[in-house]
Amino acid sequence: MTIYSVMPLELVLDGIRQQPGPYLTVQAGDVRLQIEAVAPGIGRIVRLTDGPLDAYLRPELTPGTLVAYGATTS
């Protein structure tokens, strides 16, 4: 792999060996979200795993958005 960047290599590779997660799967209406818990009952959206196509265009479901959640499915 070749990386071309003006950033220092230490910044580019920072955290490369850290494992992501753990992730939770949450059903929010007709959309299934994969979230990363950041506090009890609050998570950051990682990605949408299932839902209607127009859900991918909704700004409140963009990755990185903080959401409140209750029940988890997995």
Cβ proximity of 55 and 30 under 8 Å: yes
Mean pLDDT on 3-21 = 86
Per-residue pLDDT at 74 exceeds 70: no
Domain ranges of the chain: 19-68
Residue-wise pLDDT for 45-59, tens only, equals 999 999 999 999 999
Q: 3-state SS string over 28-41?
A: ECCEEEEEEEEECC
Per-residue pLDDT at 21 exceeds 90: no
Residue-wise pLDDT for 33-47, tens only, equals 999 999 999 999 999
Query: Which pLDDT score is estimated for 18?
Result: 84
Q: What is the DSSP string of the chain?
A: -----SS-HHHHTTTTTSPP--EEEEEETTEEEEEEEEETTEEEEEEEEE--GGGGG-GGGSTT-EEE------
